[in-house]
Amino acid sequence: MSSKTARRRFSQPYKIRILDQLDKCTKKGEKSIILRREGLYARTVLSWRRQRKAGNLTSEAAESPKANSGNAQMRKRLNELELENEKLKKKLDMANKIIDFQKKIAEIMEIPLGEIDAKN
């Protein structure tokens, strides 16, 4: 039977506090002292910095995992909707160009558009 140690989890306020302390370091070796004191790896802090830069690590963030997963799902859905919106805008632009082209052809061929509408 293997005995694995439990994976450490850090709260968002803790991450923010550590990042703030690291950002205030000016002397050589201060960051190393903080990392050793807290038992953290530089790679972990790098990941936290990326989270903060992406906006996923804020002081107002909800502390429950369910709330965070809901926010992630909402962001994912928002991205999907923005992509769909862009595709629909492109389709609409193409449809408008086709309609303009048809109007120009009708004008060149001297076909009144009112007669076409009346026949259909």
The structure tokens listed for 76 are: 């994912």
Of 90, 49, 54, 45, nearest in space to 75 by CA: 54
Of 17, 34, 38, nearest in space to 25 by CA: 34
Quote the pLDDT of residue 62: 45
CB burial of residue 40 (10 Å; 0-12, 13-18, 19+): middle
Q: What is the DSSP letter of 115?
A: H
pTM of the predicted structure, to 2 decimals: 0.46
Residue boundaries of the structural domains of the chain: 10-61, 64-120
Percent of the chain whose predicted confidence (pLDDT) is above 70: 84
